[in-house]
Chains A and B, each alone.
Chain A
């Protein structure tokens, strides 16, 4: 999971143009400057491209709901990666 977190963090830094971003599980969209609906889609597109995965409409929408955080996002990405 640590390797995955590092890679996801790199994608976040690139999308939000902020090299200082450090991800932890409890972080939400409110903790990252500029994470609005538009940036949410940009982030998803970048994650899909980086990991070669595809997220469903319902999954993308659910990530914006209350109670969702970086931990949920990492689990979602991890669940879509081919098992080693």
Chain B
């Protein structure tokens, strides 16, 4: 079941009417738990997957409780390393074929939303160890991880934020007008996915298929044709991703509010970002903040604690590693490493550029520079196009991702040779 399906939307509308009739928070929690189980049940293919999922989630809760009592960093590191190894195995990462016996990858387990569960679980365990989950409960934790509104693709909500609305589950809408806005948001999300994103996806598939057939036949098109095809796939896929993903977020954020759950926003006009770092605070924001808090910060802080003078120059490396890891998290094949590495390079370059401007002009000069309308336009254009470059490596395995570049290069070479 997908969130833009008729069944999901109909169930959501029904739930939004029935929920306020349930008299106590416990009754509403029970109803939502039932909804979580039904939704999850529609995505779990077999008993082995149920067992693996139960073990995965139980390990998180158990580790959190143990680390809460014995906050030992080495224990935390061992748990995180272990759970990441299990995640890599369950997801059947492509590189494992070279490392482990094939029998280990030949398992029937397919857990939808496991990547998001992993990030929520690491956050939950770290925060528990640091005493930041004041009233933990297995009931709350299970519903946090199984929450149907964040199961498939986030947002990556923090447990404290989830618990604040889970404990009461009263409607988020302040009045009838606000309630209508939440319904409209769900409707608009459906339109984005089944209308706009689907149209962009259709056009992208057509152009990509044309590029593939040219490449397969070793047929070199004219430069203009190659350029049109290339720019088509270059811009259409990021547009598809934006409308598809932000539409999904509109449905789940708007839908969750109808049953009393407040989810964090995940988009803030990302294509108006002025640098790659800025971009990741506007596109899939909850992922960007997770990377900042649980990947970048521990790495950079460890260096800054030991050697504060060296830290600023090491920051670029930390940005690169954090984004490369986040790239790999997106999928199991090598193209996602390229996607992450490009974004890591972009983030490092943005920070380097800022440092250079501070050295040259001072902080006041940097502020003045950033206020320039012309600079703003150029940086927005450059950031959006930079992201489109990285997205060339998102939709397919690496070899297929390279086809648009290969066709364009061949056409360019032919044009130069005359």
B289 on the A face (CB < 8 A): yes
B2-10, B50-58, B308-316: which one contacts chain A? B308-316
CA distance A56 to B127 in the complex (A): 7
Q: A7-42: which have CB < 8 Å to B?
A: 33-34, 37-38, 41-42
Q: Are A57 and B351 in contact (CB under 8 A)?
A: no
Bound together, the chains give a CA A57 to CA B126 distance in angstroms of 8
- The distance in angstroms between the C-alpha atoms of A48 and B308, with both chains bound, is 13
**B294 at the A interface (CB under 8 A):** yes
B328 is an interface residue with CB less than 8 A from chain A: no
- Chain A residues with CB under 8 A of B210: none
Contact B158 A58 (CB under 8 A): yes
> Which positions 290-305 of chain B face chain A at CB distance < 8 Å?
292-294, 296-298, 300-301, 304-305
- Interface check B225, CB cutoff 8 A: no
Dominant SS at the A interface? helix
- Is the Cβ of B130 less than 8 Å from the Cβ of A56? yes
Count of chain B residues with a beta carbon within 8 Å of a chain A beta carbon: 28
- In the assembled complex, the Cα of A61 lies from the Cα of B126 at a distance in Å of 13
CB–CB A61/B351 < 8 A: no
- Which residues of chain A (48-82) have a CB below 8 Å from chain B? 48-49, 56-61
Instruction: Report the bound CA distance from A33 to B358 in whole Å.
Output: 11
Give residues of chain B (86-137) contacting chain A, Cβ–Cβ below 8 Å.
126-127, 130-132
Q: How far is the CA of A46 from the CA of B294 in the complex (A)?
A: 20
Give every chain B residue within 8 A of A57 (Cβ-Cβ). 126-127, 130, 132, 293-294, 297-298
Q: Is A45 an interface residue (CB 8 A)?
A: yes
**Smallest Cβ-Cβ distance to A42: which chain B residue:** B304
Supposing A33-B364, A38-B315, A45-B308 touch, asked if A58 and B300 sit within 8 A by C-beta, the answer is no
Report whether A59 and B132 are in contact in the complex, using a CB–CB cutoff of 8 Å. Answer: yes
Instruction: State whether the Cβ of B379 lies closer than 8 Å to any Cβ in chain A.
Output: no
Instruction: Collect the chain B residues with CB atoms within 8 Å of residue A48's CB.
Output: 305
* CA gap between A60 and B305 in the complex, in Å: 15
Q: Give the docked Cα–Cα distance between A37 and B312 (Å).
A: 11
Give the shortest distance, in Å, between B114 (CB) and chain A (any CB): 23
Contacts of B292 in A (CB 8 A): 37, 61
Interfacial chain B residues near A45, Cβ < 8 Å: 301, 304-305, 308
Instruction: Find A42's partner among B308, B363, B367 (CB 8 Å cutoff).
Output: B308
Interface check B160, CB cutoff 8 A: yes
Nearest Cβ distance between residue B180 and chain A, in whole angstroms?
Answer: 26
Measured in the bound complex, the distance between the Cα atoms of B301 and A34 in whole Å is: 18
Distance of B262 from chain A, by nearest CB (Å)? 15
Question: Within 8 Å CB of B315, what residues of A?
Answer: 38
Chain A's nearest CB lies how many Å from the CB of B371? 14
Pairs A–B under 8 Å by Cβ, sample size 13: A37-B277, A38-B315, A38-B351, A45-B304, A46-B308, A49-B305, A56-B130, A56-B132, A57-B298, A58-B127, A58-B130, A59-B132, A61-B293
| Chain A interfacial positions (CB closer than 8 Å to B) | 33-34, 37-38, 41-42, 44-46, 48-49, 56-61
